Structure 1
């Protein structure tokens, strides 16, 4: 799955009850993101909403695609390094190749648990991701205890062994008052030494037209996203050891063979860190 519909679209604070209220005639954040990364699970309203954003800031598509490619590279690297368990929180709608497809291509015994609090995402995931070693559960990052206690997660993931926890374009939804650093700490305390955090986050550090970009952030949209600077995002890795090249603009994280977005058009940081 391709995580995270957040791309710097901010109006009001997100509420859990917002999700699951989007008929096909209304744009849904997860479906808009799905359209931006080339997925098929979207409708005319989502296309129109995406085009509305892209007319003002075409960089949003580059940022979404670069985020997905970053996740792919990180999963492949960790799977090749021996990690066989993955927890993708804020997973978004299925969009091939999904995390389990990449991980299981390198290790057929890899196990993946997807988590999302959007009922539309959860229903799609539960219907399409019921394969061997893979499951989808409903959960909210702001309630990590409920996620970690879920029967399906406990069935597939062993906290005594290293696990890769993916939070790509998810912390963008978490206000400082909800203690995002503490939420990550709860997850990493549960995970065994050698576990890794895969994290990406939207930012305003790389934008050039401040007035235009502020207009994008003010677009009428039902989901509030917090665009932090590099220093603020770096705090999410407290107590962890960042893998080279550290916290960098997404295209700069271990670039490989294949197309990548122009860094000038990518408004996000990414990094991978290991628990000592």
Structure 2
């Protein structure tokens, strides 16, 4: 099968709003990227005043994504739906998946125009596999599934990757319902891969960060381990269950050095749909 690189979305010129920060661009700044703006850096630096390990948090989270993707590809998963992709930073999910399984098919989805601007140039497939990018909002799962169905076979297992996404979706916006709607359409044997900012370790700091986001018209809802576990209800969690990101199968590699002894406050998990 010939590799495919396609982009679904508007053909209008990309318009980037630099009047307020965007989570994808702040994440890029934390990772040391250059696809961000002063407004993103300014807010990221404010967040560092709450916890100076912002860059470490981003790298630990990304390393979890790499390990989980590699593990599932090696276990036979050949289809991946990554929602909340963020600005491409190599190695991207499709590069990890296709290194283990060259015929893997990957669909990315994000709602930031700057991600779209880079997706066409960076998201390149192996000849045997396929990649596609969809510009869409995670709060509209039916639209995502409709477009993803042009590349992915929903009668076969799919790994749904919601990495560092759901803490930007409040309960009032239906965070749990979104996950249910997406997983309901996936075949038996599919997986949910999720990472999420934790509230347990510093509730006061988490609330301060959420207020900073709200003041800029953004949503941030850190959740406790119990609240994150709710996303996996009805599915079988892979060991060690909902855990700290650094503790999820570290034997798969990519250790990230961190400062101090306090854990990086992020919950992760991978679960299988029966």
| Mapped contact 2:106–2:132 kept (Cα < 8 A) | yes
Task: Establish whether residue 38 from structure 1 lines up as the match of residue 42 from structure 2.
Answer: no
TM-score, L = length of structure 1: 0.84
- Call closer, same or farther: CA 1:266–1:68 in 2, change over 3 Å: same
Pairing partner for 1:116 from 105, 110, 121: 110
Q: Is the 8 A contact 1:94 1:125 kept in 2?
A: yes
Q: Secondary structure at the match of 1:114?
A: strand
RMSD between aligned alpha carbons? 2.1
Q: Does 1:87 align with 2:118?
A: no
Answer 1 or 2: higher relative contact order, Cα 8 Å, separation at least 6. Answer: 1
The corresponding residue for 1:138 is: 135
State whether residues 251 and 261 of structure 1, in contact with CA within 8 Å, keep that contact through their aligned partners in structure 2.
no
What is the match of residue 51 of structure 2?
57
Q: Structure 1 residues 178, 53: closer, same or farther in 2, change over 3 A?
A: closer
Q: Please name the residue that 2:4 is paired with.
A: none
Q: TM-score, normalised by structure 2?
A: 0.85
- 2:272 is the alignment partner of 1:274: yes
Structure 2: runs of 5+ lacking an equivalent: 1-13
- Alignment partners' CA distance in 2, 1:268 and 1:20: 32
Task: Tell me the distance in 2 between the aligned counterparts of 1:216 and 1:176.
Answer: 17
Aligned equivalent of 1:187: 182
Query: Aligned partners of 1:237 and 1:202: how far apart in 2?
Result: 16
Is it true that 1:97 corresponds to 2:91 in the alignment? yes
Equivalenced residue count is: 253
Contact 1:126–1:137 (CA under 8 A) maintained in structure 2: no
How far is 1:130 from its partner? 4.9
Please say if residues 94 and 125 of structure 2, whose CA atoms lie closer than 8 Å, have aligned partners that are also in contact. no
